[in-house]
Amino acid sequence: MFTLEIDGVAIAVINGTEEIARDLFTCDGFKDDIQTMKSDGKVLWNGTSELKIRAASEDETEIFEDALAEDDSEEDEPFEPDAHHAKASNDDEEEEGDEEDDADIVFLVDIDEDAGLDS
């Protein structure tokens, strides 16, 4: 597992290879998202700070595993992907293959509810 760190703050953890982590954490769509998403009223990334990708710590790995376990236990209804993201995901798969299908991302910071991606 690998962690995205910005300005000394662990932002997110991904399960996958380092190559997958680098690809996902540095792709234009993800960078756009983290410039829009906020935690405690502050954007996650200012667009210029280094996006540091490093091996996840034991604590970060535990948080990741707990979050996935909690997500699985709360899954009452079948997952229905957002049409916009599903199309983008399908386009990416056609170009890059299926290697990213197995990667999950868990944010380690609380994301502000009112700072949605569509704002």
Give the model confidence (pLDDT) of 38-88 as tens digits: 999 999 999 999 999 999 999 999 999 999 998 876 655 555 555 544 444
Task: Supply 94's token pair.
Answer: 């056609």
Residue 113: its pLDDT value, please? 84
Residue 77: its pLDDT value, please? 53
Residue 111: its pLDDT value, please? 94
List the strands of the sheet with 9-14, edge to edge.
51-55, 2-6, 9-14, 105-107
Residue 106: its pLDDT value, please? 96
Largest distance between two CA atoms of the chain: 40
pLDDT higher than threshold 70 for residue 116: no
Query: How many residues in total does the chain contain?
Result: 119
pLDDT higher than threshold 80 for residue 1: yes
Per the CB < 8 A criterion, the answer to whether 108 and 12 are in contact is: yes
The predicted model scores a pTM of 0.73
